[in-house]
Amino acid sequence: MNTVNRWKRYADWDERPLRLDRFAAEDAVNGFSAFASPADPKPGIGIAHGRVISMDGVLERDFDMIDRFIARHHIDVAVAEEAMALDSAQVARMLVDMNVPREDLVRLAHGMTPAKLAQCVSHLNALEIAFAYSKMRARKTPGNQAHVTNAKDDPLQLAADAATAVAFGFDEIETTMRVSRNAWSNALACAVGGAVGRWGTLFQCSSEEAEELRIGMAGFSSYAETVSVYGTEKTFVDGDDTPWSKAFLAAAYASRGIKMRCTSGAGAELLMGFHEAKSLLYLEARCLCLQRGMGVQGTQNGGIDGAPLTSTVPGGFRELMAENLIAVWLDLECASGNDARATESEIRVGAKIMPYLVAGSDLICSGFGSILKYDNSFNPSLLNGEELEDYLVLQRDFEADGGLTPLPEEKALDIRRRAIDAVSAVFEELGLSSPSEAMKQSVTVASGSDDTQSYTPRDVAFISEAIKDKGITVIHVIRALAKRGFREEAENLLNLVKLRLSGDYLQTSAMIRNGHIVSAVNDPNDYLGPGSGYRVSPERRQEIVTIRDVLDQKEVLRSEAMHEREEGTRIRYRAAGEAEPSADPQDVVIGISPAFGLKLFQTTAGHRLSDVLRTLVEAIRARGLSPRVVRFRHTADTSFLGLSAARLAGSGIGIGIQAKGTAVIHQRDRLPHNNLELFSNAPITQLVHYRGLGANAAAYALGEMPEPIVVPQRGEAMGSRYHARVAMIFAIETGMTEEGAAPELVDVTFTGGKP
């Protein structure tokens, strides 16, 4: 729509990615309400003879299966009456009170009903929720999880991308398939790739429940998290499970020594059509109480597949944070969502991740798309391979540990190739396939599967079914690796499977760091105010800040030195004694800065200073005036350079120009910062603008009123692009200033070709 009766700004806004997001009206009756609905029950509990006889306004005989499970397995009757009697606003204040220890609040949560938990966190604003989350999360050290998938189910790429994810520091990697038959191939490839470089990255292969458990039993995967629970009975049944069947599965996973967490998130019940007109948060509180009751160590929570829907309602992002807070308050490990891409707006993406980045989380994303968006078989994540560097920089900006470490470019290829060679060796040893060198090479350098000439999903199906049919286990893979010289990878993989024996990693919030278990048991969050809880150590800070391609003064000087020799062939500056004021009305002074042409040789736009100076000189001469070049050393400031030049000039008009190209036209009787024309955006100032600058200076000297030169900018973030360099360059200028230094006349000879 673009009619004359429309403010065109709306048309501009229509074109922004944000407008691809579709927002929903708040409508509690139809389930579209984040925090509160008239249908939400008031918190309450009745206990008789050590038994819950009513909960959140429902009598025991009317309990649905979720109420029954929560009443029997979550509610601690020894705490319930005390906890439920507390004023919810008071509890909310305790959540953000750094003097109230985490364990006191966890104890109270054991006696709270879903409605009570939801009511308490509803009192908190977004900042308070983030703070409370930081205080209440179970494990002290934050971590992160990656998605590793691709559009072809190509095992070579899975191995390479798994190894890359490990190198970036992800604590867990999760794969899934385009074609469900390919599960075994995906599992083997990621297990091998994930063993490159170090050991301890936990791995899961998200597939059909029974198949996933079988893959786990074959030793390929080390955890599972797709055991979903729901907040209404009908949704649960449509999900083809009950709290008891899921709790049974949880015990089954533990009995196989495999770590497990459940999944739940706001919006699932709404998407599946049975929301009972309850708010998103209340339903999610039910899910979380269920999970604690089931005895799972943790949850993948925070919208998850329902996050995009939750993000359509007012307060949606805040709700996702609030449900994560309930999860950690219930003492569950929290893989805190930030996975399904809830928006097309990069600003909303950045805003969504920020509270988690600064608060920390057991697994900030569940997971982060370590691959490109189109390769993500779960659907794009909030953050993806495209944006991974942005995230690394956010860590650096806020000195916050988001769980990742920059990977130097020169290491990436070696790691990828090693993983590809390792999985190829396993394929060959086990008679599964023999990938060609061309396939391997294409995958090594590929950013995504569009770039590869490798396996197709059909090829993979044969490999995958062979792995399954031959009964190949991780033991066969370990032997194959060792036999083919991948001993380190074989050891790494064995170490991961050995975790099963002790079951240490089945405890809450367990991950592996530097070969050791780190969990809520031996690394409990002990936040009690500044100086406590998780702090980025000096060593860890060094890892975080070491992003690629940073500028330092050495680099600036190196770059200038490259230009010095060339400028030597194009221009000669000869000092010709102290510059005196002139009375000649044709005299226009060009005041150059201390380092101009001596230590610095190009403007920030990349123009040679010889070209710039020659352009100015010729433009002044073209009006029949006499330009005089004077070097000032008492100042490096553009305004003062210009004013000082104007005061020496017989015409009263002077130009001030710094080596970086910032320039000004000044007049003798004006105040320093009240110039005639300023050329402040040196990075976009072209020779044509300098020509106009010279011509206008001449015109002022002739008493004319020229059209000021406007250097057009298109809103570039000039400061972000140039200011680091500018500040380093300017320090070189100011380093050469000398208080009270006299102006110096410079004879300039141009010895090169015309610019």
Nearer to other proteins among residue 36 and residue 191 (C-beta): 191
Residue 126, CA distances (Å) to 317, 354, 359, 395 in order: 9, 11, 12, 20
Give me the least distance between CB of 512 and other proteins, in Å please. Answer: 10
Residue 626, CA distances (Å) to 141, 242, 291, 585, 667 in order: 69, 92, 85, 9, 16
Give me the least distance between CB of 89 and other proteins, in Å please. Answer: 26
CA dist., res. 206 & res. 258, Å (int): 14
602 binds other proteins (CB under 8 A): no
For residue 174, indicate whether it is catalytic: yes
Nearer to other proteins among residue 167 and residue 520 (C-beta): 520
CA dist., res. 117 & res. 290, Å (int): 13
Give me the least distance between CB of 549 and other proteins, in Å please. Answer: 40
Selected binder of other proteins within 194, 293, 385, 650 (CB under 8 A): 293
Strand partners, 223: 259
516 binds other proteins (CB under 8 A): yes
For residue 147, indicate whether it is catalytic: yes
Sheet holding 571-578, edge to edge: 571-578, 744-750, 626-631, 587-592, 653-657, 663-667, 677-679
Phi-psi group of 407: left, alpha or beta (phi > 0 → left; psi -120 to 50 → alpha; rest → beta): beta
Selected binder of other proteins within 15, 240, 409, 469 (CB under 8 A): 240
Q: Which of 161, 171, 172, 174 is catalytic?
A: 174
For residue 428, indicate whether it is catalytic: no
Q: Which of 147, 275, 607, 666 is catalytic?
A: 147
Helical packing angle, 316-329 and 114-122, nearest 10°: 120
104 binds other proteins (CB under 8 A): no
CA dist., res. 510 & res. 513, Å (int): 10
Residue 606, C-beta contacts closer than 8 angstroms, at least 6 positions apart:
none
Nearer to other proteins among residue 507 and residue 696 (C-beta): 507
Structure tokens at 282: 């209340």
Interface positions, 495-514, toward other proteins (CB under 8 A): 497-504, 506-508
Give me the least distance between CB of 518 and other proteins, in Å please. Answer: 9
Selected binder of other proteins within 281, 490, 605, 684 (CB under 8 A): 490
8-state DSSP, 429: H
Q: Which of 300, 370, 424, 667 is catalytic?
A: 300
For residue 673, indicate whether it is catalytic: no
10 binds other proteins (CB under 8 A): no
Which secondary structure element, helix H or strand E, spans residue 591, and what is its range? Answer: strand 587-592
Q: Pairing between strand 677-679 and 663-667?
A: antiparallel
Window of 10-18, 430-438, 515-523, 713-721 that interacts with other proteins by CB under 8 A: 515-523
Selected binder of other proteins within 173, 218, 285, 307 (CB under 8 A): 218
Window of 87-95, 140-148, 233-241, 563-571 that interacts with other proteins by CB under 8 A: 233-241
Nearer to other proteins among residue 263 and residue 310 (C-beta): 263
Omega of the bond leading into 367 within 30 degrees of 0 (cis): yes
Interface positions, 380-419, toward other proteins (CB under 8 A): none
For residue 221, indicate whether it is catalytic: no
Residue 108, C-beta contacts closer than 8 angstroms, at least 6 positions apart:
79, 82, 83, 86, 91
Residue 104, C-beta contacts closer than 8 angstroms, at least 6 positions apart:
94
Site string for other proteins, 37-76 (x = CB under 8 A): ---------------------------xx--xx--xxx-x
Nearer to other proteins among residue 481 and residue 746 (C-beta): 481
Interface positions, 323-382, toward other proteins (CB under 8 A): 331
Which secondary structure element, helix H or strand E, spans residue 588, and what is its range? Answer: strand 587-592
429 binds other proteins (CB under 8 A): no
Give me the least distance between CB of 506 and other proteins, in Å please. Answer: 6
Nearer to other proteins among residue 508 and residue 675 (C-beta): 508
Selected binder of other proteins within 98, 127, 251, 742 (CB under 8 A): 251
Q: Can you give the length of the chain in residues?
A: 755
For residue 73, indicate whether it is catalytic: no
487 binds other proteins (CB under 8 A): yes
CA dist., res. 454 & res. 423, Å (int): 13
CA dist., res. 598 & res. 663, Å (int): 18
209 binds other proteins (CB under 8 A): yes
Window of 490-498, 576-584, 614-622, 623-631 that interacts with other proteins by CB under 8 A: 490-498
For residue 300, indicate whether it is catalytic: yes
Q: Which residues are catalytic?
A: 145, 147, 174, 225, 300, 339, 366
